A = this chain, B = another copy of it.
């Protein structure tokens, strides 16, 4: 049986700020530049969720993309139109870089995938940069 990967893109808009409370204000500014701006800034994030498996002979689906979308939205629903530094219990203590976000989303989403196996998340912060995680 062939192994196929399917991907569904979902999106959310959020505010954040890069700030390490263990560093001085001066060091934060020097390290993070504009991303340390005190009153937050924000992004339109896009998340590409990739699941691998063998297509079900009855449906032709690795996973029903409607179900996968629902799983993904149950996670990013906590992030959409929120402040990633302030509003999200499961991001408490996480410095919200794209790298740290994609790892945190993986931990929430992987157990919810309804069929197949989560093999890749790509989180776009802007149309010109993204972070990619494969669970390693």
Contact = CB atoms under 8 A, between A and B. Distances in A.
B129 A83 contact: no
A117 interface: no
A26 interface: no
Contact of A16 (B31, B42, B59): B42
A74 interface: no
B2 A59 contact: no
A74 to B, nearest CB: 16
Number of copies: 6
Given A41-B83, A81-B37, A86-B39, A136 B2 contact: yes
Q: For the complex, would chain A's binding face be called helix, strand, loop or mixed by DSSP majority?
A: mixed
Given A44-B43, A100-B60, A7 B130 contact: yes
A72 to B, nearest CB: 12
A42 B39 contact: no
A127 to B, nearest CB: 7
21 contacts: A2-B133, A4-B132, A6-B98, A6-B129, A7-B132, A13-B41, A13-B42, A13-B126, A14-B41, A14-B42, A15-B42, A18-B60, A22-B58, A37-B83, A41-B80, A44-B126, A44-B127, A55-B103, A60-B95, A60-B97, A62-B131
